[in-house]
Amino acid sequence: MTKAAIRAEAERLFAAFQAAGAVAVEADLLLPAETLLDLYGEDIRARAYVTTDPLRGEMMLRPDFTVPVVQAHMADGADPARYCYMGEVFRKQEHLGNRASEYLQVGFEVFDRDAPEAADAEVFALFAGLVSGLGLRAVTGDIGILMAAVRGLDTTERRRAALLRHIWRPKRFRALLDRFAGRAAVPAGRVALLERLAGGAPNELIAAAGAFIGLRAPEDIAERAQALIEDAEAAPIKAPEAALLYDLLGLQAPAEAALGHLRGITPLLPAIAPAVDRFAARLEALRARGVAVDTLAFEASLGRTSMEYYDGFVFSFHADAADMPAVATGGRYDALTAVLGAGRSIPAVGGIIRPHLVAALRGAV
């Protein structure tokens, strides 16, 4: 496939986003790394091309458009606003294959505080129309429901924070939940450390260890040791509550059926009620745009291995080829606008399409 064919597909998508009311925006290829590396997910952070500029400090080649677009909008953007963009992004790949290190990305972002669920439906329906006829499978999810469930757990604040921090790392999250729920043994190394701490105060053990070596101050080490002691004394998450969270993690069903299931467990996990209400409103908005929500796939864990700034509705469109990345992805990232808005925030949702994959699929159908 030629670059000309890929660019032609990108320009078709870009024009469609403009026709939907989006203002075309640009983003620099070389971006300051300090803020961005903290906001991207662990996967993309590890795959970013980072370099050092003698005047500007650590810089990175653009791995994504959303963060710089949000930065620009929060600095001086209108409210509400719709933006679109087209350009190259760069990501290192660990293995040879069909995943490019440099490729075109076309995207669409909506900033609108009046009707977030309607904006979710608008973005999803627009993307669905643009990739129709390619035989793709659409999947939706909602990170916000899982986050609400974790925040509502009857456990320590430190444990809730640990689970929230690792939502985007499913294996680590599951290991923590197993341990906090008493379903997995405490690691042997931690048991040995706790036994040593039981023999004396943290500060006494640090002093007895000899010369101090390392970047952490003794106070930091003592604070961490005290946290380990407190965690060991914390009661396990109650079995019924943990069972509901395990159930939620594995929930996969057509969206309408998923809503019925979530309504059923809400009395037992009341913290998810507002997020489930938003899910219901979104399904109504999708239905109003002609989306068949009775067959639309929903997976509660969708998006947990992608961008860490997603905090609500997420979606993706997949081809049958097992080794092909998602052709289009997106989601809601309200909290990101607060992080970059210096005290201001606005509900926001958007997504991207990979035109080289669309062009490849169009050539095959």
One digit per residue, the tens of pLDDT, for the chain of length 365 reads 688 889 999 999 999 999 999 999 999 999 888 777 777 765 666 778 888 888 888 888 998 899 899 999 998 877 889 999 999 999 887 665 566 788 899 999 999 999 999 999 999 999 999 999 999 999 999 999 999 999 999 999 999 999 998 998 899 999 999 999 988 877 776 666 666 666 555 556 555 555 556 656 666 666 666 666 676 778 899 999 999 999 999 999 999 999 999 999 999 999 999 999 999 999 999 999 999 999 999 999 998 877 678 999 999 999 987 678 899 999 999 999 988 887 789 999 999 999 999 999 988 54
Sign of CA dihedral 176, 182, 185, 187: positive
Sign of CA dihedral 114, 120, 122, 123: positive
Q: Looking up tokens 């979530």, which residue turns up?
A: 262
User: Could you tell me the CA-to-CA distances from 154 to 176, 245, 274 in Å, in that order?
Assistant: 15, 12, 18
Q: Given this model, what pLDDT does residue 228 score?
A: 66
The rounded distance, in Å, linking the Cα atoms of 315 and 123 is 10
47 class by beta-carbon count within 10 Å (0-12 exposed, 13-18 middle, 19+ buried): middle
Cis peptide before 274 (omega within 30 of 0): no
Residue pair 350/66 in contact by the 8 Å Cβ criterion = yes
Q: Given this model, what pLDDT does residue 41 score?
A: 60
Q: Given this model, what pLDDT does residue 365 score?
A: 44
Residue pair 135/320 in contact by the 8 Å Cβ criterion = yes
User: Could you tell me the CA-to-CA distances from 216 to 203, 212, 223, 224, 264 in Å, in that order?
Assistant: 14, 9, 11, 11, 48
Residue pair 50/58 in contact by the 8 Å Cβ criterion = yes
Could you give the count of Cα atoms lying within 13 Å of 333 in the half-sphere of its Cβ? 27
Q: Given this model, what pLDDT does residue 309 score?
A: 84
Contacts of 175 (CB under 8 A, 6+ apart): 184
Residue pair 63/91 in contact by the 8 Å Cβ criterion = yes
Q: One-letter amino acid identity for 289?
A: R
Dihedral of CA atoms 168, 173, 174, 179 in degrees, nearest 10, equals 180
Residue pair 354/328 in contact by the 8 Å Cβ criterion = yes
Q: What is the pTM of this model?
A: 0.87
Q: One-letter amino acid identity for 307?
A: M
Dihedral of CA atoms 113, 116, 118, 121 in degrees, nearest 10, equals 130
